[in-house]
């Protein structure tokens, strides 16, 4: 067996579930990376990818529930899931803070996802973690 130098990854998901395959590919990648002894430092949702953090998704019971499966993975592995605030607000994804600030009727962010700025992504970009993107197909 080949020696593996452990790496630290930041995964950026820009494709939405039920519109692209991005969240599924990213999850299989993350699982394989963990199984190979690598670290996932954080997962960052950007653009249409923020839909993965919705608490209100209810797909047919014979289809994968990507937001739930991702949330469980992040929780069990202790990986921070960060949702870009600018992308989220344009697409109707808000936590309790943003609900209050914008006087909205409800919040719909699924734990353990949290909302933060692009600074979190810049941090990854300039640090020593490898940044990998998972885009939509169209």
Indicate which of its own copies, other proteins, none lies near residue 93 (CB less than 5 to 8 Å, by partner kind).
its own copies
Q: Is 64 in the site for its own copies (CB under 8 A)?
A: no
The secondary element (H helix, E strand) that includes residue 126 is helix 119-126
Size of residue set near its own copies by CB under 8 A:
33
Q: How far is the CB of 89 from its own copies (least distance, A)?
A: 4
Name the nearest CA neighbour of 94 among 51, 41, 136.
51
Catalytic, out of 26, 84, 85, 115: 84
Q: What is the x/- site pattern for its own copies, positions 83-122, by CB under 8 A?
A: ---x--xxxxxx---xx--x-xxxxx--------------
Do 41 and 74 contact (CB within 8 A), yes or no? no
- 84 an active-site residue? yes
Taking residue 52's Cβ as centre, other Cβ atoms within 10 Å add up to 28
Report the C-alpha gap between 125 and 94 in whole angstroms.
Answer: 25
135 neighbors 48 (Cβ within 8 angstroms): no
Kindly report the length of the chain: 138
Residue 119 contact partner, candidates other proteins, its own copies, none, CB within 5 to 8 A by sort of partner: other proteins
**Binding residues for its own copies (CB under 8 A):** 16-19, 47-48, 51, 54-60, 63, 67, 86, 89-94, 98-99, 102, 104-108, 136, 138
């Amino acid at each position: 067996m080949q020696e593996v130098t452990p790496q630290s990854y930041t995964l950026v998901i820009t494709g939405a579930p039920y519109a692209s395959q991005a969240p599924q590919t990213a999850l299989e990648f993350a699982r394989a990376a963990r199984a190979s002894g690598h670290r996932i430092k954080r997962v960052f949702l950007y653009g249409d990818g923020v839909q993965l953090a919705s608490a209100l998704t209810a797909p047919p019971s014979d289809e994968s529930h990507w937001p739930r499966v991702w949330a469980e993975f992040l929780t069990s592995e202790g990986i921070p899931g960060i949702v870009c605030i600018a992308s989220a607000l344009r697409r109707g994804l808000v936590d309790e803070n943003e609900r209050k600030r914008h006087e909205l009727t409800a919040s719909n962010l699924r734990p353990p996802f949290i909302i933060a700025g692009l600074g979190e992504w810049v941090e990854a970009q300039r640090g020593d973690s490898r940044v990998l993107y998972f885009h939509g197909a169209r």
